[in-house]
Amino acid sequence: MNEQDFLIQIREAEQRAETLIAQARDSARQEQESARTRADEILAHARETAALERQNILAAAETQADRMSQQGKSEAAAAAAVLTGDASNLLDDAVRKVAERIVS
């Protein structure tokens, strides 16, 4: 093989190497873009899941607050009824005592 053929082979090998390097760079760039896209999708899904979980927690808290409010209203109404009954009994006793004093 002469020197000219040897130089041609070297140039062809260099061109193949440059082509392989360019393909590897392109492949790496595509994989990086794909990884970014997957990461963005995962983050978006995580955000959606967190938002739904937050809504569920808030709904449960509101339901519990409503239950507690209703229970408080019921207990307050029961206490008011007891106090009203007590006041009525005291008023009846006072009227009876006044009537007894008048009669005596």
pLDDT tens digit at each of 104 positions of the chain: 688 888 999 999 999 999 999 999 999 999 999 999 999 999 999 999 999 999 999 999 999 999 999 998 888 888 887 778 777 777 777 778 877 788 77
The pLDDT assigned to 82 comes to: 76
Q: Which two tokens stand for residue 7?
A: 């130089």
Using alpha carbons, list the distances in angstroms from residue 29 to 2, 18, 32, 68. Answer: 41, 16, 5, 58
- Return the amino acid letter for 1: M
For residues 38 and 51, give the distance between their C-alpha atoms in angstroms, rounded to a whole number.
Answer: 20
Whole-model pTM over 0.75:
no
Residue 81 exposure: Cα atoms within 13 Å on the Cβ side: 6
